[in-house]
Structure 1
C-alpha cells in the first residue's frame, strides 16, 4: 500500500511527542514493506527534492521551516504526483490538514488526520475546519477523543489507537534490582512528583525503596524535596536511562506510580505495566493515564493523597510479576494492523462513492 504522510515538521526537525508518534507509524508501515512517503519541510542538505531514509521517502514541500505558506501551497501538487492510496496528515499546524485534504481529492484518496494532542487543542476556526474536513481522525486516547469531539466532530469518525510497545523486547531484558515503587517521566513543571513523595513520606516507617527515572529542569527541586521529607535515603534518582535500562527497572519493580498532571498517552507507564508492574494513577483532568487501569484488578485510580497512600499499601499485597500479557494488544504489530484496517476500510468506502 502506498501511504503519503503530510507533516510540515518531523523528528528530523524537532523531537516532540507528536513528531515521535508520526515517526513510529512511518517505521511500522515501512518495516512491513509498505510504500511510505512524507511531504515535509526540507531537513537535509543539498538541492535534492527527495531523499530516502530507512525505507521512507521524504519529499520537499518547502525549503525549510521558515516557509510555511510555500509548504501549504505545494502539498496538494506533491500528493497528486505521488498518487497514494491514502493520505495521512498531522493536524499541527491545522492548515496543513486542509492542504492534505485538497491533495487527497486530487489524488482521489481518503484523508486521515493524526491528532495526538500534546499541548492541548485550540478551539479556533482553522482547527474546527480541519477536523470537519477529514474522512477519519485517529487519536491516542479517550481524553483526546473528547477534546476532538468538543470541536463538533461526529464521534463515528474518531478512533482511538494507542502508542505501541514491543512486547518481545520486554521479554529480552533481564529484571533489574528489586524495588517497590518506580516513577518515570521528564522532571518538569507538570511532573507532579511531589504527590508521590508526600505519600511515600507517610509510609516512612515501613520498609520500601523507590526509583525515579528521568531528568529535567525540576530534578534538583525534587531531590531537595526528598531530603526535606527525610526519604532521600530510600529514593534513587536514576536520571535519563536507555529503554533497555528502563525495562530492567520496570521488570524488577513492584509498582509504577503515575502522578503527572498532563499526559495524552502514558507510553512509559504502558511499558511498565506490560513488564509486570502494578499501576497506580493519580487522576487529573488533562491526563489519560487512568484509562490504562480502569477495570483492571492490578490497577488503582486515586484522587487524593490519602487514596494514593492506601493504594500503595494495597498494591504491596499483590503478587510480583515481571511480565503481563494483558497488554499484548498494544504490541507494535497489533497497532500497525489497526492503522491498516482503517486505511482499507476508507479505501473500500471511497471506491463505492
Structure 2
C-alpha cells in the first residue's frame, strides 16, 4: 500500500504529541512493508525535494512552514505521489479541507488523524476539518467526543490508540530507582506540582520518587520540590528513552498521572503495562482516566490530598512488573488497526 501522510510540521520542526504520532505511524507502516511518503515542509539541508530517514521518504511541499502556501501546493505534490490512501493531521485544519479537495480528483480516500484541537486553529476551520474526511482517527474517547462535537459523524470516527512495545516491557530488567514515578514532558500542562504536593503530605512516610521528563517547566518543578523540602527524596531524571524508562517503571510500585491536557496518556499506558499501581488525577482535558477506570490496580483522584492517600493505599497491592492485560496496545496490533482503517476506506471508496 502506498500511504501519504500529510503534516506540515514534523518532529524535526517541533516535538508535539501530534508530530510524534505521525512519525511513529510512518515508521510502523514502513516496517510493515508499506511505501510511506510524508508530505511536509522541508527540514533537511540542501535543494533535494526528498529526504529518506528511518526508511521513510519525506517529500517537500514548502521550504518552510506556511499554512497558506502549504495548502495551495500540497494538491500538486499529492498528484505526483499518487497514493492509495491519504492521512492528514488535524492541524492546521485548513490542510484537511485542501487535501480532501485534491483527493476528489485523485479518487483517493482521506483519513484525518486527530490528536487534539490546537489553539492556533480557528473554530470554523476545525468544523470543516471534522466533517470533510472519509474517516477520522482518534487516540481516545475524549478526542472522539471532541471531533463529534465539531460535526464528525459517529460512523466516521475510528479509535486507534498510541502503541507500546510489550516485548520490551517483558524483557527489560527491573531497576529499583524510586517507589513512586511521574513521567511526561514538563511543559505548561504537566502539573507536576500536584504530584509534588501529594508527596509533601507524606513527609513522615518512607518513600522515594522520580520524575522522568524534561521541558520548560522542569526548573519550576525542581524549585517546588526544594520549597516543599522534599528535594532530597525526589530525583529528576530528565528525558529518557523507553529502554531506560521501562526498567525504572518496573522497579516502581506507584505511577502518578496529574497532567491537565492529555489526548492519550502514553506514559501512563507504559506504567500500567509495567505493573505499576496507577493513580490518575482527573482533569477535564485529559483522557488518562480512560485507561484506569474499572481497574483494581488503578484509581481516580481529584486533588493532591486524595493522591497522597491513594499512594499510601497502594501498599495493599503486591509489586508486579508486567501486566499482559495491555498486550492489545502492542505496536503490532496498533499498526493492524491503522491498516484496517485504510483498507476499509479504500474498499468503500472504490465501491461507491
Q: Normalised by the shorter chain, which TM-score bucket?
A: over 0.9
Greater than 6 Å deviation, 4+ residue runs: none
2:179 partner SS? strand
1-structure distance, mates of 2:22, 2:345: 20
What residue in structure 2 maps to residue 294 of structure 1?
Answer: 293
What residue in structure 2 maps to residue 54 of structure 1?
Answer: 54
1-structure distance, mates of 2:45, 2:304: 53
Q: How does 1:98-247 map to 2 (within 5 A)?
A: 98-117=97-116, 119=118, 122=121, 124-177=123-176, 179-247=178-246
What residue in structure 2 maps to residue 7 of structure 1?
Answer: 7
2-structure distance, mates of 1:158, 1:112: 10
1-structure distance, mates of 2:298, 2:18: 27
Give the superposed CA RMSD.
Answer: 1.9
2:91–2:121 CA contact under 8 A, matched in 1: no
1:137 partner SS? strand
1:121–1:147 CA contact under 8 A, matched in 2: no
Q: Post-superposition shift, 1:163?
A: 0.9
Which runs of 5 or more structure 1 residues have no equivalent in the other structure?
Answer: none
Using the size of structure 1 for normalisation, the TM-score is: 0.94
2:92–2:121 CA contact under 8 A, matched in 1: no
Greater Cα shift, 151-160 or 37-46: 37-46
Deviations 1:242-283 (A, max 9, x none): 322211110100010011111111111111111111110000
1-structure distance, mates of 2:186, 2:50: 38
Deviations 1:312-331 (A, max 9, x none): 12212101111111111111
1:118–1:264 CA contact under 8 A, matched in 2: no
1-structure distance, mates of 2:73, 2:126: 20
Q: How does 1:75-90 map to 2 (within 5 A)?
A: 75-90=74-89
Which runs of 5 or more structure 2 residues have no equivalent in the other structure?
Answer: none
1:62–1:68 CA contact under 8 A, matched in 2: no
Q: Post-superposition shift, 1:123?
A: 5.6
The answer to whether 1:280 aligns with 2:254 is no
Aligned residues: 352
Q: Post-superposition shift, 1:121?
A: 8.2
1:42–1:62 CA contact under 8 A, matched in 2: yes
